[in-house]
Structure 1
Amino acid sequence: MTSLHWFCTLESSSLSDTCVSVNSPSSVIKYSPAQSSMSSYQESKSYPPGSYQSPNVKYGSPLSGSCITEDMTDFRCKLRELENVMLGPDSDPFDTCNNNIENSINTLPELESWRLIMEAIPTRDLKQLLIACAKAVSDDDLLTAQWLMSECRQMVSVSGEPIQRLGAYILEGLVARLSASGSSIYKSLRCKDPASFELLSYMHILYEVCPYFKFGYMSANGAIAEAMKNEKRVHIIDFGIGQGSQWVTLIQAFALRPGGPPHIRITGIDDLASAYARGGGLDIVGQRLAKLARSFKVPFKFHAAAMCGSEVQLENLGIQSGEALAVNFAFILHHMPDESVSTENHRDQILRLVQSLKPNVVTLVEQESNTNTAPFFPRFLETLDYYEAMFESIDVMLPREHKERINVEQHCLARDVVNIIACEGAERVERHELLGKWKSRFRMAGFKPCPLSSLVNNTIKSLLQNYSDRYKLEERDGALYLGWMNRHLVASSAWK
């Protein structure tokens, strides 16, 4: 899922100077990562910077124009030439290439990617080709990786089927990783950010067509409302407040509470990236929420903490005696580096800080994905599986011809995909963990689970009736999971 804080149009700068050069046979297609930018998926068409790109435009050649051969004999000979380059010129004569290639694939571990290639190319299976390409990148098999990138380019399209659209962004990430181990290329991606109001529009579209954010906010708000039902003064600390949208429905709910609403104070924490998306600082969020609270006659104050969540110290939180405390981590904690990135381990450090405040409730909403410490290839497979489900769910709710769908996917999802695939170390900021791992972290910090109420579950079930029946809600061990078909995508839990 999107990080909710990064927005970017993928448009790589020229990589000609950083691409690894490989001598290849004349029949093997040479690939220049300089052609890998999103503009390279267009059919020899150019658009001025910032111009609108119609969803009807195919960013890759039609499948019928692919350079993937339909002749298996020719294909096997291509592989034979690759084998000659990789294994040396003393291999068996050309007329026995079929048996030798298959034997090599069966006996040499470093040629496992060839098995994937032979299974994928005859059937034009883009997903398997992307997997084979990632395997070649993982094995430092540069010749095969560059060839497969050329093949994949003919099949991806930001206006095509879900796997074609996702494939375009995955290919961008693979090119960035192969060319310069990810970090420098990720930095050089030229982000032509739209105006802030457009970013808000894209996020709003995604918010409306997919229930992931509503599910997360609704489940967290339900846990907070339950924990605060008898409190007169409530302080909510939100690590990553964004636009403040989560708190609109909670303020409305508190306004209807029997006996009158509590006094609400919200400390909003957020960084400069979100400030750009808002079109200004946190004061904009405070003013909006204060206006809403006045209209519902709810006593309200807002405290701004403009900083990255991992930088927060006790003095930034404005703790006051006599207030019941709720802390909210919605789609934000995975951005904080842990022990695998920094000796400071900001992820566990912030949990220990929050636990020391003795909050009434802490809410956690995160993508249910394992991309934090996984090695590159397993991480690639996890990312492909996760975002394929995400793109499929968007496809059901947002028609392919919808003029803004490309913008929604590029600005809200694509950069996350590139970051997970292309970057390592501190440069990789999208570091998701499964709820099982989060539970371990919370328990080590001194928290105990706080099961979500059945009322929250029933409310979310009612919400999902407005969406496809392929969304699945599961309650397990006091936590809630929302998924697409058989794939969990978001998990929500509460702690105290």
Structure 2
Amino acid sequence: MAHVRQIKYLLSYRYTTKSQLPNRNNVVAGYFTCYQNPKQKQCAPTIYRDSNLKIKTTPPKSLRRAYFVALSMMQFTTSVPYLHQTKTHFSNSNPSSMNKNNQIPNRNTNIKPWFPTSKALTNFGDTNCMEQLLVHCADAIETNDVTLAQQILWVLNNIAPPDGDSNQRLANSFLRALTNRAAKNGTCKMLVEVSNARNNLNIETHRFSIIELANFVDLTPWHRFGFTAANASIIEATEGFSVIHIVDLSSTHCMQIPTLIDAIASRHEVSPLIKLTVADHANIDQIPFHVPPMLDLSYEELGSKLVNFARSRNVTLEFRVVSSSYTNGFASLIEHLRVQRLVYSGEALVINCHMMLHYIPDETLSLIHDTNLNSNSNSYVYDTFSSCSSSAAVTVTTTATTTSLRSLFLKAVRGLDPTLVVLVDEDVDLTSNNLVCRLRSAFNYLWIPYDTVDTFLPRGSKQRQWYEANICWKIENVIAHEGVQRVERDENIGKWEQRMRNANFQGIGFGEECVGEVKAMLDEHAAGWGLKKEDEHIVLTWKGHNVVFASAWLPA
């Protein structure tokens, strides 16, 4: 059987003379696979069209990819930029067919080259084409195909400037992430020098003051949607309680709490006592990354300002910080709450999870074996990599079922018998261990923040730079990192719903008053934002696409 020796492609497609081919068929030049015959060393074309222009043989995937990149390059130059000096052989090469610069002239024909896409490939500003290029680049980097990866990076640098339109800036962010991944991937390290000439690969995330962060969060419904839905649900669930204990697991550093304090103060003549507990991982060494947005002050200072704000609204607020991290499923926080429940059993306990739980490791990062996962258990089981000093953390070696810290955290929360659990997160799945699958999922979701930014922030503004730097950070973490370094592991609403039900929670719907408040909030923003209800949940949409979901849960 013949073996593939090498694949060559042309930058222009043309026909050889009919007399050169068997059965007088036309070859689509650009698709050539050279087979080495054990008896006769010769190269024969394997991709051709008959007189009816039907493809007789399907080109291999690697050849289709190479031709796609070559066709992309035709839009910018007739010469190919190589990292290394390579010698390319052409079928029916003729010195007269070369121009004076030894370049192949671009010969237009009426026959389109074969490629598996429904859209024309000449529109390289199209997001589908950019996605294809990014996918091929990721595949080339993973297989250490330096030449092909460099060629695709070169094309992307031409069609995706960092200051272009929303689609170009999106593609540029993925380009930076792929370049950073290449820096860690064997022989592809040399590609960093190529992209460094065009892009600064360092992402500078801003540290916000409280006022800056409050204004930043209010720019878009991305967070305000969850704040509004959660506050309405919390007020309804805690009606009649004299003490409300709120555990705020939020990526926005308690920016939801001032509006909640205002809402509570306006509904009660004598406001209930509010206890606010937050998890702080600023001083924990095991944290791989500090996730943006980041504050420029400590949680103790933040708590002092919140207490003063609550006092100005005639609300008594107790603020407590527990040193705990998402890396081990907030183990020390769970133990602290367990002790508190034994002492203060009559208070309303609300677990408010706002875009934070997807940082807890899931099944794709580590497998944890637990022999006792029923909801009445007081044991909280961790994997052997957990660095928790809490007495609640144990390692179980007997294998019965396989689960993750994410599911174990929810089961531990269920063991606290909370009054309400609010879960708000981004409706996208970024957990795949396959880079290409993860890239496609991220690309088809993260176009939304780039598309929305034009509606509320002008070009060149500081806030816009901060906003897009945070998106770039997320893209880089999803694409360039693996293992414990990859902390952005979002799951869609379906997976979270299954986890909550497995932990013995039941969903409750949002009332008309809550939905009305969310709609009123959306009216303050651009017309593209919308709201839809899915079962008991509500979902924030942009131009009809799911963005963020909000859900409320009670112990079953």
1:414 partnered with 2:415: no
Match of 2:318 among 301, 322, 330: 301
Where in structure 2 are the equivalents of 1:347-426 lying within 5 Å? 347-373=406-432, 375-410=434-469, 412-426=470-484
Letter in 2 for 1:211: P
Change (3 A) 1:378 1:192: closer
Greater RCO structure (CA 8 Å; 6+ sep): 1
Structure 1 residue 399: Cα displacement: 2.7
CA RMSD of aligned residues (A): 3.6
* Range with bigger deviation, 307-316 or 345-354: 307-316
> What SS does structure 1 have at the residue aligned with 2:236?
helix
Q: Secondary structure at the match of 2:548?
A: strand
The answer to which structure has the higher helix fraction is: 1
1:339 is aligned to 2:366: no
Q: 2-side partners of 1:151 and 1:199: how far apart?
A: 42
Q: 2:272 aligns with which of 262, 272, 279?
A: 262
* CA deviation vs aligned residue, 1:77-124 (integer Å, no higher than 9, x gap): xx978967999995457xx99869x96993423445357555665222
Give the aligned partner of residue 172 of structure 1: 176
Question: Is 1:135 paired with 2:150?
Answer: no
For the Cα contact (< 8 Å) 1:209–1:394, is it kept in 2?
A: no
**Residue aligned with 1:106, SS:** coil
- AA in 2 matched with 1:137: A
SS state of the match for residue 552, structure 2?
strand
Question: How far apart in 2 are the matches of 1:151 and 1:227?
Answer: 55
Name the SS of the counterpart of 1:481 in structure 2.
strand
Match of 1:52 in 2: none
Q: Residues 352-378 of structure 1, C-alpha deviation per residue, up to 9 Å, x if partnerless?
A: 111101001000010000111362222
After superposition, residues 40-59 of structure 1 pair within 5 angstroms as none
Query: Quick one: structure 1 residues 373 and 199, their matched pair in 2 at CA, closer, same or farther if it must change by over 3 Å?
Result: farther
Where in structure 2 are there 5+ consecutive unaligned residues?
A: 1-5, 16-27, 72-118, 193-199, 283-289, 369-382, 384-403
- TM-score (norm: length of structure 1): 0.75
Higher mean alpha-carbon deviation, 369-378 vs 335-344, is at 369-378
- Aligned-residue sequence identity (percent) comes to 25
- Whether 1:282 aligns to 2:299 is yes
One-letter amino acid matched to 2:151: W
The answer (yes or no) to whether the contact 1:133–1:145 under 8 Å persists in 2 is no
Q: Does 1:209 align with 2:219?
A: yes
Instruction: For 1:340 and 1:305, locate their aligned partners in 2 and report how far apart those are by CA, in whole Å.
Output: 28
For 1:86 and 1:209, locate their aligned partners in 2 and report how far apart those are by CA, in whole Å: 60
Which of residues 38, 48, 61 in structure 2 aligns to 1:109?
61
Name whichever structure is richer in strand by fraction. Answer: 2
Contact 1:116–1:129 under 8 Å retained in 2: no
Q: Distance in 2 between matches of 1:295 and 1:230?
A: 23
1:369 and 1:206 mapped to 2: Cα distance? 23
Question: Structure 2 vs 1, CA of residues 478 and 82 (structure 1 numbering), >3 Å: closer, same or farther?
Answer: same
1:248 aligns with 2:285: no
CA spacing shift, 1:409–1:121, aligned 2, 3 Å: same
Quote the residue 1:494 is aligned against.
Answer: 552
Question: 2:499 corresponds to which residue?
Answer: 441
- Structure 1: runs of 5+ lacking an equivalent: 1-22, 29-68
Equivalent runs, 1:89-104 vs 2, <5 Å: 91-92=43-44
For 1:278, give the aligned amino acid.
L
Distance 1:208 1:175 in 2: 33
Give 1:243 deviation, angstroms: 2.8
CA contact (8 A) 1:215 1:460 kept: yes
Whose Rg is larger? 2
Number of equivalenced pairs: 421
Inter-partner Cα distance in structure 1 for 2:215 and 2:161: 21
Q: Quick one: distance in 1 between partners of 2:444 and 2:291? A: 28
TM score, norm. by length of structure 2:
0.68
Secondary structure of 2:264's counterpart equals: helix
Task: Give the 3-state SS of the residue equivalent to 2:454 in structure 1.
Answer: helix
